[in-house]
Amino acid sequence: QSLDLEKFCQNLIEELHLVNTQDRKIKFFQNDRRLGPDSPPPRLDSKLLRQILSNLLSNALKYSPPGGRVNFTVDYYDRQIAFTVKDSGIGIKSEDLPRLFELFHRCSNVGDIPGTGLGLAIVKRSVDLHGGEITVDTQVGLGTTFKVTLPLSTPPSVPPQE
């Protein structure tokens, strides 16, 4: 099943009640240069994709101070798609990084921000099931960027020449 990715992401953001907040904390960017009549929509598992994106987006909001910015970017390449969630939040200490995707792990700087430590374990599992990759780039006090890259198994738009 192919997926209308733009609609999917917009629905997801609306669902998370992120669109109509007063300060519009979430900035939604979509790099759609590769979309057009020649680019078939990506075939992704929408349930897994929902797990991945809703956890990353809700973390980005939760671990950011009021008025922070969260940028969500979708980049298309020929054979893969990349989702980037960048926040200007509390960041993650390097000593916490090795255990970041473990079940129930919460980092030392969470203070009284509530959470159970399940979200990123689910994200990692979902990315693995897609045969994808997740990377994190973070600086304490400045913010965190998670990037998820998933392979696209789209059929070629032009049949091979015999």
Give the integer Cα–Cα distance in Å for 129 and 112: 32
Backbone angles phi, psi at 7, to 5 degrees: -65, -45
Of 31-39, 54-62, 76-84, 143-151, which part binds Mg ion (CB under 5 A)?
A: 54-62
| Eight-class DSSP state of 156 | P
Q: Nearest residue to ligand ATP, using CB? A: 115
Positions 133 through 152 that interact with ligand ATP (CB under 6 A): 144
3-state secondary structure of 28: strand
Under rule CB under 6 A, residue 70 binds ligand ATP: no
Near Mg ion by CB under 5 A: residue from 42, 89, 119, 132: 119
Q: Does 132 bind ligand ATP (CB under 6 A)?
A: no
Residue 90 interface partner, choices Mg ion, ligand ATP, none, CB cut-off 5-8 Å depending on type: ligand ATP
**Residue among 63, 72, 76, 83 that touches ligand ATP (CB under 6 A):** 63
User: 76 or 126: whose CB is closer to ligand ATP?
Assistant: 126
Does residue 115 bind ligand ATP (CB under 6 A)? yes
3-class SS of residue 13? helix
118 binds ligand ATP (CB under 6 A): yes
Is 84 among the residues that bind ligand ATP (CB under 6 A)? no
Sign of CA dihedral 66, 72, 88, 126: positive
Residue 5 main-chain phi, psi, to 5 deg: -65, -40
Residue among 113, 98, 134 at smallest CA distance from 63: 113
CB-count exposure of residue 112 (10 Å: 0-12, 13-18, 19+): exposed
* Number of residues near Mg ion (by CB under 5 A): 2
Which residues make up the interface to ligand ATP (CB under 6 A)? 55, 59-60, 63, 87, 89-92, 100, 105-107, 110, 115-121, 144
